[in-house]
Structure 1
Amino acid sequence: MVRVHPIAEVLSKAAGGDFPTVDGGWQRVEPWRPGVEGVVAFTGHAYLAVDHDVSDGTLVSLSPDGYGGASNPRLVSRLAGTGWIDALDIILVARGTGGEPTLVPRSDLRNHPRAEHATSVRSDVTTFGYAVPDDHTLVTLSTGLGGLPEVGLETDPSKDHVGADVVRDALTLIPEGEVAVAACAPGNARALRAFLSAGFEPVASVQLWRPER
């Protein structure tokens, strides 16, 4: 039997409108990817994915809570040590549409900076794009937050693509009805509007780090 990670479970429930209880609490869970930790925060409840070398007592001493405390920069910095810390992102969820994909595998885009970033925090990263060779629009499909399919993208500025259309095309890569996630920086308004227009809904926040303690 395949074990579903708690973060995948809670995000899948949120995609159906079932959110964690707003109690100000927090829970500790296992990291879903070796070498990457993070905090996933919902309205009034948070999840800390931290490895075993950090004791429960240490976590408690950092005063996490579900009202923003679990995402406090001091807490994140303490847990990351001298390691890399990602930006605080919005988590968006949608369901795959399946069907005949418009996008094709594009191994030539594997060294794109966005693909390299995906590889550093996600697993099984595959790069897709449009069939026209000089179109460098990139879509990444990975095993991401909690083990769920995670979509990332960047449009080619020299092409006349609408971001929302690219997101919709990306959802055809995922089986119909399967929950998919995307992470978007709040300040990246153009990308955020594209995901929202294509049917993604915001459910939580996430901040990742690769600890060096």
Structure 2
Amino acid sequence: MLVMTTLADILRGVENGVFPAPDLGVSVVPAPSERESAVVAFTGHVVIAADVSPSWVAEQVPAGDLAAPTNPPFLTALAELTGRRVSSNDAMLLAPAITDPAERAEVIKDLTVLTDHSHPRVQRALEYRTDVQVYADVHGGLVIIGHGLADRIECAIELPDAHQNQGHGRHLARVARTLIPPNTSIWAQITPGNAASLRAFLAAGYKPVGSEALLVK
């Protein structure tokens, strides 16, 4: 079992196209913060970012079984050991910043910074992210950006019912890519059952890179 450095190092590598080796291995790294632990799965490799020993993980996970760390029995045992609960089990998508000045300027002129954070989607973001910024467009759609797991930049979108199935979700997901600094990347976490959201983010240029189970207190 390979012990790597930190989850932040691994995610920054993925942002630059460098993934853990697909060696059917499991890496154990420290929890990225007091706020959360995680099990992050890539092609052929799983990273367990939690304050547990590699020997404990080895006892729970049969060698070469990459399904085990993402399935309920292991996640339940990990949650009990660390005093946490599993809050989500999502697909991870990633996209680079849009740097074209004309597109960035066009997008920003239609957005308003939202200081009222009472919306339930914003409240959820505040539980899991820091430096949260919320933007509203002319149709009442929301783009939420903040620093989440291992300090990566994450986004979420929210659509009014009247604008469902009109390509508006794809537009908001693309907007998020214009709101981050150049030479950075933005992550989206989407439950696999939310097919409409998955389609919107894929159409907006995000690529699937893995999955994650997030454990919080």
The two structures have a TM-score, normalised by structure 1, of 0.84
Unaligned segments of structure 2, at least 5 residues: none
User: Structure 1 vs Structure 2: percent identity of aligned residues?
Assistant: 33
Q: Aligned ranges for residues 54-203 of structure 1 at < 5 Å?
A: 54-63=52-61, 67-81=66-80, 83-98=84-99, 99-100=104-105, 101=108, 102-108=110-116, 110-130=117-137, 132=138, 135-159=139-163, 162-203=168-209
Report the Cα offset of residue 119 of structure 1: 1.9
- The answer on 1:9 being equivalent to 2:9 is yes
Q: Does the 8 Å CA contact 1:91/1:203 hold for their aligned counterparts? A: yes
Report the Cα offset of residue 197 of structure 1: 0.3
How many Å separate the matches in 2 of 1:158 and 1:74? 40
Report the Cα offset of residue 122 of structure 1: 2.1
Report the Cα offset of residue 34 of structure 1: 1.5
How many Å separate the matches in 2 of 1:47 and 1:68? 12
Q: 1:66 and 1:106, CA in 2 relative to 1: closer, same or farther beyond 3 A?
A: farther
3-state SS of 2:14 partner? helix
How many Å separate the matches in 2 of 1:122 and 1:68? 28
3-state SS of 1:47 partner? strand
How many Å separate the matches in 1 of 2:126 and 2:6? 22
What do residues 119-171 of structure 1 show as CA deviations (whole Å, max 9, x unaligned)?
A: 222222221112x4xx4322110102321110111111234661111111111
The two structures have a TM-score, normalised by structure 2, of 0.83
What do residues 160-212 of structure 1 show as CA deviations (whole Å, max 9, x unaligned)?
A: 6611111111111111231111101111011000100000000010010114x
How many Å separate the matches in 2 of 1:8 and 1:95? 17
Q: Which range moved further: 170-179 or 60-69?
A: 60-69
Q: Does the 8 Å CA contact 2:88/2:215 hold for their aligned counterparts? A: no
Unaligned segments of structure 1, at least 5 residues: none
User: Which amino acid in the other structure matches residue 41 of structure 1?
Assistant: A
**What RMSD over aligned residues (CA atoms) do the two structures have, in Å?**
2.2
Report the Cα offset of residue 91 of structure 1: 0.5
- Number of aligned residues: 201
